[in-house]
Structure 1
Amino acid sequence: MTSHHLPASVLLAGGGTAGHVSPLLSLADCLRRRSPEIAVTALGTESGLESRLVPARGYPLMVVPKVPLPRRPSPDLLRLPVSLRAAVAAAERAIDETGAEVVVGFGGYVSTPAYLAARRRDVPIVVHEQNARPGLANRLGARLTDFVATTFPSTVLPHAVVTGMPLRIEIARLDRGARREEALGHFGLEAGPITVLVTGGSLGAQRLNTAFEATVGVLRGAGVQVLHLTGAGKEFVPDLTGPGPTYVVRPYTDRMDLAYAAADLVVARAGANTVCELTAVGLPAVYVPLPIGNGEQRFNAADVVAAGGGLLVDDAALTPRWVHDALLPLLADRVRVDAMAEAAAGVGERDADEKLADLVAWAAARSRAGQR
């Protein structure tokens, strides 16, 4: 833990997706644990996920207009100077009204105006990049500060130090073995069989849902137990005729800590938050990157796959035949599964929130000393 004192007020900018909001809230909680009197304010938009999650966690939210940064010529590009100017002005007001001594940006729509406003107000900036491939906002932010944190060692940004992903404390401090009995009971699972957690995140992943729904009987026949989180509105009733362990289907759970404690292996997308949670708790995984966007999900999983803690499977290859031909032999090899778990834990980072808080304190100290 750093010897530097935290600033009295911090403005945390990020929103739009859980990938930005989750680490923002984890840092906010860490700052508050360290210094209960610190003023922590979030900067977001009226329509993003942050508009619901930030107030629910007990933090004030100030809003800026949403400023999409187009990747190619479009009408949005012509409107950009006007809309960006309004967003920067709103971010400057947030800095002034909160007396923020440090601005921390997590990327996305909100961070660009926050970085520009902080630069104009001469307030130090801390950047946190969640993905292996940095987005436009954080590529800009990293040029304006020496305080840049990345989740993955492979991320290329100026001045970057690897902190990992700030995680919810119930995940970061999870002891899977100690909580396993409670976890199995929570989901109505059995204590003996090897257990697979299938999850496509809060929205679900149709490719995963289709492949596993078609192989319920095959999995149960092989002695495999499954906890399948399908996403809201995508659940199905599994065919539990015939012998074998149970197959539990839920649309979602607000107790992912217990889902992880119940599992021996996970099949999931490769969002940065998912990869970091699974490695932090030492869970081996089959990562199925989302086949859209700029391909960052494949890069997110690259380090843990290279270390032997996970497998990478193309979305199109995740079929019922793959479950039969590839997954079942893997699950039958407990020595390999255990080795993958150890390898995953070896690249996991449980203290990223503390490391990022250290960076905030260091930025504030440098600013107080008149340095940048």
Structure 2
Amino acid sequence: MTKTQNAALSVVLAGGGSAGHVSPLLAIADAIRAQLPDAAIVAVGTKEGLETRLVPAAGFALATIERIPMPRRPSVDLLKLPVRMRRAVARAKEILSEANADVLVGVGGYVCTPLYLAAKSLGVPIVIHEANTKAGLANKVGARYTSYVGTAFAATKISHAQLVGMPMRAAVAGLDRAAEQAGARERLGLDPNRPTLIVTGGSLGALNLNKAVAGAVGALGEAGIQTLHITGAGKSVTGDDGGLLTAPLYRQVEYVDAMEDAYAAADLLLCRSGAGTVSEVAAVGLPAVFVPLPVGNGEQARNAAELVAADAAVLVADESLTAEWIEANVLPLCLDAGQLAAMSARASKLGIRDGAQRMAEMILAASGKQATA
């Protein structure tokens, strides 16, 4: 790694493992560069996470550190934790020192705890972004050492919380759904003039969601609703003949690279309620039916709670989502332009489009630097 003594601002960004960490990290990095073009930026992740591909592809340097999960019960991993943590903190100090870091920014995840401890030891200012309504353990630790803590949701309980919204890509944050709708539908192979349902279970897919949609596509098509089903990598939906499921006005793909096109094309989105998805849906004013992931500590249901309470979205439990439920609830909603418009307006009032810029401003304040762009 090259030293960055001459940079106007040197930032180390920590977080990785999942798209939920990497996406806001990269959005923050872009926002820093927009305000301070000659800033030196190094991202820190693990050798196993998505960051190994996504960070270099975005044009940023990547340093790696050992992945250290925090055991929640007595185990061999718990006995090994002190030694592994000391080793990781030492590596974190190397990264911060080599970068001549003016500030450390953490977005949560396993790599952040040793970076927070190293930054505290070296006197490097810390800035934190917490994406979920239930703050993660690493960010709770880091929040003890800084007053610069941004959150994506107002309901998040963490020390020094300031609501900034979710940092998101400029293509999503600046999306004009109405202006882009026809073009987005054409790019996705859809009819520009039909009511449109888009379904996604995220990059990994959602088996029960896929099954329920597969059972409802006949009724949706008969009602004149076209469905784009983003099944997830390796999760293609098959028909009775063993081939890809086909039906009138139904199209399936494993993934969509530009989700802003999916958001623009959809009249209604049927999806999981990860923090990023919920925040982006609100920002662009897209009506949604959320199906929270049925495992974990219930954070996906909490993520969606504000939009659901405002009648900007609908929530259904994973075990309750069936083809029959879709036909009884999603189908009529897709055809109710007035209700969809009202949901869109309510979502937009709760959405925050400039989360990345707010985080960049917080980072500059913590570092004592000023924007030049």
TM range (shorter): over 0.9
Q: Which string of whole-angstrom CA distances, capped at 9 and with x for unpartnered residues, describes residues 122-176 of structure 1?
A: 0110011000000100111111111011000000111110001000111001111
Q: 1:339 aligns with which of 342, 352, 363?
A: 342
What displacement does 1:201 show? 0.8
Q: 2:362 aligns with which of 348, 356, 359?
A: 359
What displacement does 1:218 show? 0.5
Aligned to 1:121: 122
Aligned to 1:137: 138
SS in 1 for 2:341: helix
- TM-score (ref. length: structure 2): 0.94
Q: 1:289 aligns with which of 289, 292, 295?
A: 292
Q: 1:239 aligns with which of 234, 246, 268?
A: 246
Q: Which string of whole-angstrom CA distances, capped at 9 and with x for unpartnered residues, describes residues 101-142 of structure 1?
A: 000001111100010000000011001100000010011111
Superposed, which structure 2 residues align to 1:182-261 within 5 Å?
Answer: 182-236=183-237, 237-240=244-247, 246-261=249-264
Aligned to 2:26: 25
Q: Following the alignment from structure 1 to structure 2, what is the Cα–Cα distance between the partners of residues 58 and 209?
A: 35
What is the identity, as a one-letter code, of the residue corresponding to 2:246? D
Q: Is the 8 A contact 1:43 1:110 kept in 2?
A: yes
What is the identity, as a one-letter code, of the residue corresponding to 1:295? G
What is the identity, as a one-letter code, of the residue corresponding to 1:308? D
What displacement does 1:263 show? 0.5
Q: Is the 8 A contact 1:42 1:54 kept in 2?
A: yes
Aligned to 2:269: 266
Q: Which string of whole-angstrom CA distances, capped at 9 and with x for unpartnered residues, describes residues 298-356 of structure 1?
A: 11111111111111100000101101112122223221111111111111110000000
Q: Which string of whole-angstrom CA distances, capped at 9 and with x for unpartnered residues, describes residues 44-90 of structure 1?
A: 11111111111111111111111111122221111110000111111
**1:94 and 2:95 correspond:** yes
What is the identity, as a one-letter code, of the residue corresponding to 1:57? A
What is the identity, as a one-letter code, of the residue corresponding to 1:339? A
Moved more, 96-105 or 226-235: 226-235
Q: Following the alignment from structure 2 to structure 1, what is the Cα–Cα distance between the partners of residues 26 and 332?
A: 40
Q: Which string of whole-angstrom CA distances, capped at 9 and with x for unpartnered residues, describes residues 178-208 of structure 1?
A: 1112111111211222101100111111111
Q: Following the alignment from structure 1 to structure 2, what is the Cα–Cα distance between the partners of residues 23 and 319?
A: 33
SS in 2 for 1:142: helix
What is the identity, as a one-letter code, of the residue corresponding to 1:327? V
Length, aligned pairs only: 357
Aligned to 1:112: 113
What displacement does 1:7 show? 5.7
Q: Is the 8 A contact 2:183 2:192 kept in 1?
A: no
Name structure 2 gaps, 5 residues minimum: 1-6, 238-243
Moved more, 27-36 or 126-135: 27-36
- TM-score (ref. length: structure 1): 0.94
Q: Following the alignment from structure 1 to structure 2, what is the Cα–Cα distance between the partners of residues 234 and 63?
A: 31
What is the identity, as a one-letter code, of the residue corresponding to 1:128? H
Q: Following the alignment from structure 1 to structure 2, what is the Cα–Cα distance between the partners of residues 168 and 32?
A: 13
What displacement does 1:238 show? 3.4
SS in 1 for 2:205: coil
Q: Following the alignment from structure 1 to structure 2, what is the Cα–Cα distance between the partners of residues 192 and 238?
A: 23
Q: Is the 8 A contact 2:228 2:250 kept in 1?
A: yes
What displacement does 1:240 show? 2.7
Superposed, which structure 2 residues align to 1:54-93 within 5 Å?
Answer: 54-93=55-94
Aligned to 2:178: 177
Q: Following the alignment from structure 2 to structure 1, what is the Cα–Cα distance between the partners of residues 80 and 314?
A: 43
Moved more, 318-327 or 328-337: 328-337
Q: Following the alignment from structure 2 to structure 1, what is the Cα–Cα distance between the partners of residues 8 and 44?
A: 17
Q: Is the 8 A contact 2:8 2:38 kept in 1?
A: no
What displacement does 1:42 show? 0.4
Moved more, 48-57 or 109-118: 48-57
Name structure 1 gaps, 5 residues minimum: 1-5, 367-372
Q: Following the alignment from structure 1 to structure 2, what is the Cα–Cα distance between the partners of residues 324 and 267?
A: 13
SS in 1 for 2:145: coil
What is the identity, as a one-letter code, of the residue corresponding to 1:363? A
